[in-house]
Amino acid sequence: MGSSIQIRNLSKTFSSCCALQDVSLGIQSGEMVALIGASGSGKSTLLRHIAGFIAADAGEIAVMDRVIQQGGKIVPNIRRLRADIGFVFQQFNLVGRLSVITNVLTGVLYRTPLWRGMLMRFSLADREQAMEALAAVGIEQTAWQRAATLSGGQQQRAALARCLVQGAKVILADEPIASLDPESARNVMELLARMNRERGCTVLVSLHQVEFAFRYCSRTVALHRGCVVYDGPSAALTAQMLAELYGAAVEELFDTTPDSPAITMAAPPSRLPLAAA
């Protein structure tokens, strides 16, 4: 099994704040890994560096054995390399005035001729693929609605459908369930787990509630003040260990809503098939 993500000695400082400190991390192809930490621990910053959105001060990142950045510089062909990287944002990153299917079709812009992309003239094959992706995430009936009319959970499903039509081999999800109700959060995590299991996508998902890391990810990486303080089996993490790592901030990591899954409720994800996109 090859490496999907390789990070070596990554550091980043914003003004006087050290966001990442000498981070080294490797994620194998086909893994689904949780990235946890309290607010300000560096989770979002790390994901954005992996995607090549931000240049580090030092260190190197490679995705699918191709260098994304090194020595404080992002490689010139980063847009082409991002074709293999799907990014799921906490706030969905959809264009509200456009239809759901058009938002999903933006996932194929990298392989669409410029004039077609500017006019939103997508091919019939692309449109069929987008409809299949929407069906795969269970919201095909919303295809012609404006994205702004969807619920938060539906918008995040549309974002996942966009990754499907993109054909992403690596999915970086930046707190994708942070603003969702418990049921929608579970649905989104189920979809990520199925994409990982059935399509072989490597998934690195940052989470603010550790219950979901226990339930869906066999491996967890914990950040604290920009440093990796734990990297190992999710099952080996205990409440005491988390309290020692995060102190008073540990309360931020646990969802206290009545419907949230408890650590002891580590039931496996459903085995429903994910339709081909």
Q: How many separate domains does the chain show? A: 1
- Classify residue 52: in a domain, yes or no: yes
Does 263 map to a domain?
Answer: no
Is 214 part of a structural domain of the chain?
Answer: yes
pTM (2 decimals)?
0.86
Gap between the Cα atoms of 144 and 133, Å rounded: 14
Residue-level pLDDT, tens digit, the chain, 277 residues: 678 999 999 999 998 789 999 999 999 999 999 999 888 899 999 999 999 999 999 999 999 999 999 999 999 999 889 989 999 998 888 999 999 999 999 988 877 767 666 767 788 999 999 999 999 999 999 999 999 999 999 999 999 999 999 999 999 999 999 889 999 999 999 999 999 999 999 999 999 888 899 999 999 999 989 999 999 999 998 888 888 777 766 666 665 444 544 443 333 333 334 443 3
d(CA 195, CA 275): 10
Position 248 scores a pLDDT of 67
Contact 198, 270 (CB under 8 A): no
H helix and E strand count, the chain: 9, 11
List the CATH number of the domain containing 108: 3.40.50.300
Residue at 130 is within a domain: yes
Q: Is 122 within a domain?
A: yes
Q: Which domain holds residue 135?
A: 3-253
> In this structure, is residue 261 part of a structural domain?
no
- What is the 8-class DSSP label of residue 61? E
Residue 48 lies in a domain: yes
Q: What local confidence, expressed as pLDDT, does residue 24 receive?
A: 97
